């Protein structure tokens, strides 16, 4: 199974205030996100994380990723420091990707696009960065934890199938 997520911001106390995440501390936040990730993602599943994984001050990214189920790919976000992007625990690291999944052409980036490749052929843009604050756009979906119940999601759940 393939899952998508973004904007976890592990170890970043700003998300408690700016995004009004319902936790009293960063430690509580991080533990809840790890728990919801592992309740959703199986050990052999694949996860595309569309950026802003963790704060540079939050510790070792490889240690964090070892606590999370699945084979993980990173689409780099604006808050991903070299300590995150250089972790050997990622299956792949890039700024942008296009994949085929469940008969759909998916365009993956941290940022939402106004237009994207194969848009006229019903491709889908998955993104993060906006923390659930962008007005919905046809075949474009924010997969960030703020927009998706603080957990990774499948394409079927995004499309309501």
CATH of the domain at 33: 3.60.21.10
List the one residue out of 69, 47, 26, 25 whose CA is nearest residue 148: 47
- The alpha carbons of the chain give a radius of gyration, in whole angstroms, of 15
List the one residue out of 97, 69, 80 whose CA is nearest residue 12: 80
Q: How many domains does the chain have?
A: 1
What is the domain extent for residue 41?
2-159
List the one residue out of 136, 91, 59 whose CA is nearest residue 99: 91
* Distances, alpha carbon 143 to alpha carbons 48, 51, 66, in Å: 10, 10, 22
Read off the tokens for 144: 């960030």
pTM of the model: 0.96
- In tens digits, the chain (161 residues) has pLDDT values of 999 999 999 999 999 988 899 999 999 999 999 999 999 999 999 999 999 999 998 899 999 999 999 999 999 999 999 999 999 999 999 999 999 999 999 999 999 999 999 999 999 999 999 999 999 889 999 999 999 999 999 999 999 96
Those residues with Cβ within 8 angstroms of residue 159's Cβ, 6 or more apart along the chain or in another chain: none
């Amino acid at each position: 199974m393939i899952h998508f997520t973004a904007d976890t911001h592990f170890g970043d106390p700003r998300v408690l205030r700016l995004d009004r995440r319902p936790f009293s501390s960063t430690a509580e936040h991080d533990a809840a996100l790890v728990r919801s990730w592992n309740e959703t993602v199986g050990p052999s599943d694949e996860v595309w994380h569309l950026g802003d994984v963790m704060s540079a001050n939050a510790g070792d990214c490889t240690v964090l990723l070892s606590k999370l189920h699945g084979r993980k790919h990173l689409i780099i976000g604006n808050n991903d420091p070299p300590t995150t992007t250089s972790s050997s625990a990622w299956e792949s690291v890039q700024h942008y990707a296009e994949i085929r999944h469940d008969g759909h052409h998916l365009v993956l980036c941290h940022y939402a696009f106004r237009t994207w490749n194969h848009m006229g052929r019903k491709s889908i843009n998955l993104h993060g960065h906006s923390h659930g604050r962008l007005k919905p756009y046809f075949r474009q979906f924010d997969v960030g934890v703020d927009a998706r119940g603080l957990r990774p999601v499948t394409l079927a759940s995004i499309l309501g199938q």
